Amino acid sequence: MSDYYVYRVDNGLYINVTNRCSCNCVFCVRKSSDGINQGESLWLQKEPSLEEITQDIVTADPTGYYEVVFCGYGEPTECLETVLDVAKFIKKNYCIPIRLNTNGLSDLIYGCSTAKEMEGLIDTISISLNAPTKEEYLSISNPRFGLGSFDAMLQFAQDCKKYIPNVLFTVVDVIDSEKIETCKKLAAQMNIECRIRTKI
């Protein structure tokens, strides 16, 4: 356990707000490692407050980074209010793009549409697609909301296009090439860019 709320990956400043997640993906790095960078455990002793995160951001000085990314050892939108408050702080004090990496299930977490809340705060949202059908998504991502999670994630992505400048899908290359191509076609039908990620 540690208190790494802010950490660096390449030229990005990453923010770790929670270890809670509404999915239990078969490929999740949390199953095999305590962190991304050597010596840095991203398992939190407690969820950080807004003040703790912003203090770490000031110490890290985002001006030298390419972007700030909400992505840690959990699903950031489990703490959506914290994410939005931190994003407001960054927008007020720094000129740097903000990306949110998410499983896209925040509407199910909160029981309402959430995309509009991110308007003007999140510049890029990267949504984990990871499967071409609801059945395969259920098998790979193991969402706690069950079979309807896939359609909810797609609807969230569609909603995000109205409020967020850059919307992306990602697919981890743990599925076969044919399924990856089907994911790409689905993304193209929705006019959303699809990026393939290598499992860490």
pLDDT of residue 30: 77
Question: Alpha-carbon distance 57 to 152, whole Å?
Answer: 32
Q: What is the pLDDT of residues 44-82, one digit of tens each?
A: 989 999 999 999 999 999 998 999 999 988 999 999 999
- What residues contact residue 194 under an 8 Å CB cut-off, 6+ apart? 129, 168, 169, 170, 171, 183, 184, 187, 188
Output the CA–CA distances (angstroms, integers) from residue 43 to 34, 36, 153, in the order listed.
7, 11, 26
Residues across the chain: 200
Residues 23, 6: Cα–Cα separation, whole Å: 23
Write down the domain spans for the chain. 6-197
Spatial contact of 115 and 160, defined as CB atoms under 8 Å apart: yes
Q: With bands split at pLDDT 50, 70 and 90, how would you rate the model's confidence at 1?
A: very low
d(CA 158, CA 127): 11
For a pLDDT cut of 90, what percent of the chain falls above it? Answer: 82
Question: SS3 for 29-52, per residue?
Answer: HHHCCCCCCCCCCCCECCCCCHHH
- Identify which of 198, 108, 122, 128 has the alpha carbon closest to the alpha carbon of residue 161: 122
Distance CA 189, CA 183 (A): 10
For position 41, what pLDDT does the model report? 79
pLDDT of 137 strictly over 60: yes
Say what the pLDDT of residue 34 is.
66
Give pLDDT, residue 2: 55
Q: Is the pLDDT of residue 160 over 80?
A: yes
Q: What percent of the chain has pLDDT over 70?
A: 94
Of 34 and 177, the one with more pLDDT: 177
* pLDDT above 60: residue 92: yes
Q: Hey, how many other C-beta atoms are within 10 angstroms of the C-beta on 61?
A: 10
Task: Please give the Cα distance from 133 to 111 (Å, whole number).
Answer: 23
Q: State residue 36's pLDDT score.
A: 65
Instruction: Just give the CATH number of 6-197.
Output: 3.20.20.70
Region 21-46: what's the mean pLDDT?
80
Sign (positive/negative) of CA torsion 169, 22, 47, 164? positive
Q: Report whether pLDDT(142) > 50.
A: yes
Question: What is the band of 199 on the pLDDT scale with cuts at 50, 70, 90?
Answer: low
